[in-house]
Structure 1
C-alpha cells in the first residue's frame, strides 16, 4: 500500500494507511486518541496558525501546495506510492457521492492523467470523517446551484 500520508478532504490526515519507516503509522503511536483529538485539529487549523504566527496570509504555503499538486500530476508516481489530490468523485471506490470534487489517494500515470488508488482501509472513525466531509461539500454545492 502507499507509504505517503494521505489527506482525505476537510484536512483529515489518514494515518491508518500511512507508514513510518515501513511500519503502519498508528502502530508506532501509543496514544491513538492524540491523533483524533490533537493532531487532526492542528492540521485543520494550520492555515490560521501560520497567519497568526507570521502576521500575514498563508498564501505562500498554498502556492507551494499548488505547485506540488501540478508536479504530482505530470510526473508518473513511483510504484507503491501515491499522493492526495482533489478530483471528481465519479466512479470512486470509497462510496463518496458522485459529482463532488473530493480529495482521494491517487497515482499519476504522467501527462496530467491519474487514477484513484483503491484498497485503503477505512475504520469507523475515518469513514465518519469522510461522510462529514461529503455532507459539508453537498451543502456547499447545493447552496450555489442557483448560480450555475
Structure 2
C-alpha cells in the first residue's frame, strides 16, 4: 500500500531558501522516495508576494514530480497550518540596520506567538516543527511556549547548516571526501556564540583532532570560520545562504523523520530540559543527537574538556538572555 500523503507547510515560502528547498521535498530526497507530499506554501498576504508564490506553484506543476500531490499557496497562516504534519518556518522578521537584538526579538515574538497558537489548534498533534528564521533558537522557543498541545520535543531549530559547514571545513583541511567526516558537533545557539566542537569527530574512522593535529588552527581559524560563515557568504554573495541552507533543512528533516545512520550523530537545536551536560533546562540549545522512529535523543557520555565547557557556557548565557527578553515581551 502507498503511504498516506504528508502535508508539509513552509512559511516564508516565496523567498530564496524556499525556492532552493522545494526540489528536495518533492523529489523524495527529504522524506523518502515513497512518501507523497502536499505542500502548503505561506507568505505575506501582499499582492506581489502572492503573485510570486503562485509563479512557484506553476513551476512545481511544470516539474511533474510524481510524489507531489498538491500545492496550496496562501497568505493565511490558519489555512497553511491546518492538518500540517511537518512545518518548516523560514519566515521571520529580518534584522535591519540600527536594530538592537531586543528590537528583533520583539518583532519576532509577535510573529511566532501567533504562529505557535495557530499550530496549537489546527496542525496535526504529531506535527514536527523546524524553525529556520533567525533568531532561530529563541523563535523556536516562543512557538513551543505558545503551543502547549504539541510535545516540546516536536520543536527544533536549525543548526545542521553549521554542522555541515564544520564537516566541510574538516574535509578540506584533511584533504578527504566529506563522507569520511562524521560526528562534528554544534553546541548552543545558531549565532556567532555557537561552539563548533571536533573532539568527538572522526575522519575515516580516526579521531579528527589527531588527523588534523593542529590545535592553533582549530581554535583560531576553524571555530571563527564556522561561527562567521553566514556573514562571510552574505559579504560575498550580497545574499544569505540559500543553496546550503536548503540542503541542511533537508538533511535535518530526513534524519528526524527517517533516522540517523548507526553510530552517527548530528546537530539539532532542541529542548535542553534534562540533558546531561549541565546546560540550563528550558532552552532550545543545539546538541549532538541521534534519531530513530521519528524521535531525537541527545548523545550522552561525551567527554567535555575545560575549553569546551567555557564555550558551551558562553552560548548558553546568550540563549538565557534571549529567553529572558522574550518572556518579558510575552508577559510570562
Superposition TM-score, scaled by structure 2 size: 0.42
Larger RCO (CA under 8 A, 6+ residues apart): 1
Q: Is the 8 A contact 2:187 2:286 kept in 1?
A: yes
Give the SS at the match of 2:216. Answer: helix
**1:56 is aligned to 2:235:** no
**1:129 is aligned to 2:308:** no
Counterparts of 1:26-65 in structure 2 under 5 Å?
26-65=209-248
Structure possessing the higher radius of gyration over alpha carbons: 2
Q: Which residue number corresponds to residue 197 of structure 2? A: 14
Instruction: Could you list the structure 1 runs, at least 4 aligned residues long, displaced by more than 3 angstroms after superposition.
Output: none
- CA RMSD, Structure 1 to Structure 2 (Å): 1.4
Of 278, 282, 296, the residue aligned with 1:99 is 282
The more displaced of 125-134 and 27-36 is 27-36
| Consecutive unaligned residues in structure 1, runs of 5 or more | none
Q: Is the 8 A contact 1:77 1:110 kept in 2?
A: no
Q: Is the 8 A contact 1:20 1:28 kept in 2?
A: yes
Report the Cα offset of residue 30 of structure 1.
Answer: 2.9
Report the Cα offset of residue 14 of structure 1.
Answer: 1.3
| Consecutive unaligned residues in structure 2, runs of 5 or more | 1-181
Report the Cα offset of residue 73 of structure 1.
Answer: 0.3
| Number of equivalent positions | 145
Q: Is the 8 A contact 1:87 1:103 kept in 2?
A: yes
Q: Is the 8 A contact 2:195 2:315 kept in 1?
A: no
**1:73 is aligned to 2:256:** yes
Report the Cα offset of residue 110 of structure 1.
Answer: 2.4
Q: Is the 8 A contact 1:8 1:130 kept in 2?
A: yes
- 1:57-82 CA-to-partner distances (Å, cap 9, x unmatched) read 22343232222111110112222111
